[in-house]
Amino acid sequence: MDAADGFQKRYSNIDELAADAKPLLTAQAHGYYSSGSDNEWTLRENSEALSRYRLLPRMCIDVSVVDTSTVLLGQKLSAPILFAPMAQQRLCHPLGELAMARAAAAAGLPYILSTMATSSIQEVAEAVQLPDHSSGSSSSSSSSQGAAPSRLPPASAAAGTDPCLWFQVYVMKRRDVTEWMVRQVHRLGFKALVVTVDAPRLGHREVDDRNKFSLPPHLSLKNLEALTKAAGGTADVQSSGSKFGKHFSDLFDQAVCWDTIAWLKSISPLPLLIKGVLAPDDARRAVELGVDGIILSNHGGRQLNYAPAAVDMLPACAAAVQGRVPLLVDGGISRGTDVLKCLALGASAVLVGRPLLWALTLGGQKGVEEAVGMLKAELELSMALLGTCRVSQLNSSFIIPPPPRPSQPQLRLQSRPRRAVVRVCAKSDPEGNAPPPPPAAAADTQQTPNRPQLPPNPISNPAGVVAYGGRLPPARRLIVSGLTATAVALGGNFLGVTSTLLALDGGKLAASTNLDVLVPVNGSRRCLDTGNGFTFLYPAKWLADQTLYRRYAERIEREAALDPPSLRRERARRQGVPEPAAAFGPAGSTGEENISVVVAPIRPGFSLQKMGAPEEAAARFLRETVAPEGSGRTAQLLGAGSRRDASGELYYQQEFTVKSERFSRRNLSVLAARNGLLYTLNCQSSTERWASNEAAFRKAAASFAILNSGAATADFPDAL
C-alpha cells in the first residue's frame, strides 16, 4: 500500500470514508478496527444514541463570527476534538502513529498515543518535535526507541497552538515497565496521561477470533519491547482465536483498582484522566481521588456488550461531577452535530476514533488533516445554525431529549393543539381532598377530526387519560378515561390473573417494563411521570385526585386568554407554594393520609450535599420549613439517612412527627435534586393511622426515583 498524500476523490463527510478504506486493508486489519464485541449491539448503539438527541436552535443571533476553539487542561485547542487512542495504526498506513500525530498537531488538536502503538514514544515525540526535558541526551532510552523516519518532514502546529501529545496507559503486570513509560512521556514533553480502566481483559471480539488476528511480522508493539523484544510481537503466542487478545491478557494487570489511580498520581506530575467510566458513582469516586478529567467511554463498543452509549450517561455523570473536572466523551462521533450534542449535554470535548483511521488509510497525514477539516467545518456551521458563537455558550437548553422508547407507555398525546394533556401519573389536590366523581361526558363524545374517542373508564384508575377541550370551567368539557385498550391487550387483568402472574417474580418484570403502571402488582401501582421525571409506587386501592389537572388546564387557558389577568390574582398566584405534581390517597379521606410529589425550582448549583449530612439537612428542614419559630407547630426528627440508586443519584430520607393544636401527623420524606429542580416525595398520615400505612409508605419511599427523561425545567406545577 502506497503512502498516499491526501484523498484521491472528494468526500462530503467523514462517514463516507469507511467504505472506500475497507478494500485497502487486510481482512484481519479491517476486522480489528471495525468490529465490536459479541453481537455488536453497543457498537451500533453508539451512533443510534446520538441520533436520538435533537437540537433546538435559537434565532436572530449574530453569528457572523463563530469561534470553535476551547481550552482544556490549560491547553488551547482549535476545536473541542481529540484524537482517540487507537492501537497499531501502521496496520493501515506505513507511517501510522507518526502521520496521525502530525495531522493532529497541524490541526491544533491533542493526539493520544496508545500503549499498544506500532511507533515508539520517542518516535512520536520527535515526529512533532517535542523537546526532551531530561538533562542528558535521549540515547539513554531503550534501544527500541528508534528515530523517526527521515522522509517525515518537521511538524508545524496550527497557529496559536503547540503540539499536544497525551499518552494512554494500560497498566501492566510489570508495574516497573508502566512506570518507565509514564516517566518517559513526561521527559519527552507529553501533556497528560489517560489511564484506561474498562479493559481488565479484552472483550469477546468474535471477528478477531474468526480471523485469528495477529500482528504482522514486519510490525511491532514498540512500547512493549521495554519488556522483551519478543513482547512487541504476537507470532509466538499460542491461541486458537485472536493471538493479540491472548497476548493482551497475558501482559496487562487484571487487578487494576482505585488504588492504581493513586499510584499513577504519585509517580507523575502530569494531569491524569480516567477513561472507560460510565456510572455516575464511578465518576464521583474518580473526582474524589483527584483525577483531572474523565472520559466517558464504552471502548468503541469493543468491551462489555450492552453497555450504554456514553452520550446517554453524560447528563447523569455531569450532575455527579458538578463541573469539578472536565468530562470528555467518545463513541460514534462523526458529525459536527454529534460534537454539538455532547457539548450541550455537559462534555468539555469529544474523542474521535475510527473515522480518522479510515482517513489515514485513504490519504495518510494529509487525508487525516482533510477529515478533521471537514469535521471542524461542520461544527462551525452547526454552531452558527444553532445560534451560538462560542463553545462556552452551549448548554442543555439546546437539546431536546430522546422521546420514550416504543416499549414505554406514551405519556403525552395531543388530541387538539395545546388542549390535550395525557399523563400516566395522575395529579392530586394539594389539600388532599378525595377525587370528584367522573363527570358526565355523553354530550361531548361526538367524534371530530381533531379529537380522538376516549373509552370510558372509572376514575379509580390512576393511570387515567385526562383530555381538556374548549373553554373552562364547564365541567362537561372534562373527559376522564382510562387505558382500556392497553388493559385489554394485557388480558384486562381478568379476575386478577395479570396481577397474579406479574407478582410471581416479586414484581421485577412489572417494574422493569412499567406494566405496574397499568395493573396492580403485589398491592401497588406505579406512578410514572416522564414529563417531570420521577416514579414511585403507591397503594393500588388509593385514588388520584383530578383537581390538579383542572388547575393545570386553567393555567393553560389563562396563558392563552386575550384579556390581561388581574394583577391581584396574578400576584397571589405567584406567591403560592408549589402544588404537587402527583398525589394519591384513600377514597373518601380528608387528605390527611396521602403520598405526594412536589417539583420545585432551586437556585443554580444547588445540591443535597450543600445542605450538609442527612441528619443536619433534616434538622434544618424541620427548623426552617416544617415548624419555624412562631408557627404554632412542633416537629421531632425520628431518623435520617441517604441512598443512591443504580445510576448514582443521591437521595436524602427523613422521618419526623409534626404536632399542633389541631393535628398530630407523622411524615416520611425523600428528597432529590437534578436539572435545577428539587423533588420531594412526602408520605403522611395521622399518628393514629401510621401503623396501618407504614409498610406502604416505606415501599413508596424506597421506590421513589428520578428519571433521565426529566426536563431541564418541569412544565408542572404552576409555580414554575
Tens digit of pLDDT for each residue in 205-250? 999 889 888 888 888 888 888 776 667 677 667 777 776 767 677 7
Higher pLDDT pick, 212 / 48? 48
- The answer for residues whose C-beta is within 8 angstroms of residue 613's C-beta and 6 or more apart is none
The partner residues of 77 in beta bridges, in order of sequence, read: 70
What's the confidence (pLDDT) of residue 203? 87
CA dist., res. 215 & res. 212, Å (int): 10
Q: Does the pLDDT at position 351 exceed 70? A: yes
Q: What phi, psi does 252 have (nearest 5°)?
A: -105, 150
Q: What percentage of the chain has pLDDT greater than the value 70?
A: 70
The partner residues of 81 in beta bridges, in order of sequence, read: 350
What's the confidence (pLDDT) of residue 38? 93
Higher pLDDT pick, 620 / 194? 194
Beta strands in 562-633 (DSSP E): 580-585, 594-601
> Which of 81-85, 121-125, 160-164 is the least confident region?
160-164
Tell me the pLDDT band of 163, cut-offs 50, 70 and 90.
confident
Q: At what angle do helices 27-34 and 354-386 cross, to 10 degrees?
A: 40
CA dist., res. 586 & res. 278, Å (int): 42
Across the beta sheet with 478-481, the strand order is 420-421, 465-468, 478-481
Catalytic site residue from 30, 204, 247, 299: 299
What's the confidence (pLDDT) of residue 29? 93
What's the confidence (pLDDT) of residue 578? 62
- Burial per residue of 165-175, b for 16 or more beta-carbon CB atoms within 10 angstroms, e otherwise: bbbbbbbbeee
Q: At what angle do helices 175-187 and 258-267 cross, to 10 degrees?
A: 40
* pLDDT tens per residue, range 439-465: 433 333 333 334 334 333 333 333 332
Amino acid of residue 314: L
Q: Are 221 and 233 in contact (CB under 8 A)?
A: yes
Q: What is the pTM of this model?
A: 0.57
The verdict on whether 299 is a catalytic residue reads yes
Cell triple for 247:
497476548
What's the confidence (pLDDT) of residue 559? 53
What's the confidence (pLDDT) of residue 303? 93
- The answer for residues whose C-beta is within 8 angstroms of residue 9's C-beta and 6 or more apart is 20
Tell the residue number behind the cell numbers 453497555, with chain if given: 307
* DSSP-derived 3-state class of residue 129: coil
Tell me whether residue 315 is exposed, middle or buried, using C-beta atoms within 10 angstroms of its C-beta: 0 to 12, 13 to 18, 19 or more.
buried
Tell the residue number behind the cell numbers 379476575, with chain if given: 495
Higher pLDDT pick, 420 / 703? 703
What's the confidence (pLDDT) of residue 244? 72
* pLDDT tens per residue, range 500-534: 444 555 555 555 555 556 567 888 888 888 778 88
**Average pLDDT value for the chain:** 78
Tell the residue number behind the cell numbers 433521565, with chain if given: 708
Residue 609, number of CB atoms within 10 A of its CB? 13
* pLDDT tens per residue, range 365-376: 999 999 999 999
- Measure the CA dihedral 371/375/380/381, to 10°: 100
- Closest of 327, 136, 116 to residue 227, by C-alpha: 116
What's the confidence (pLDDT) of residue 230? 66
DSSP code of residue 713: S
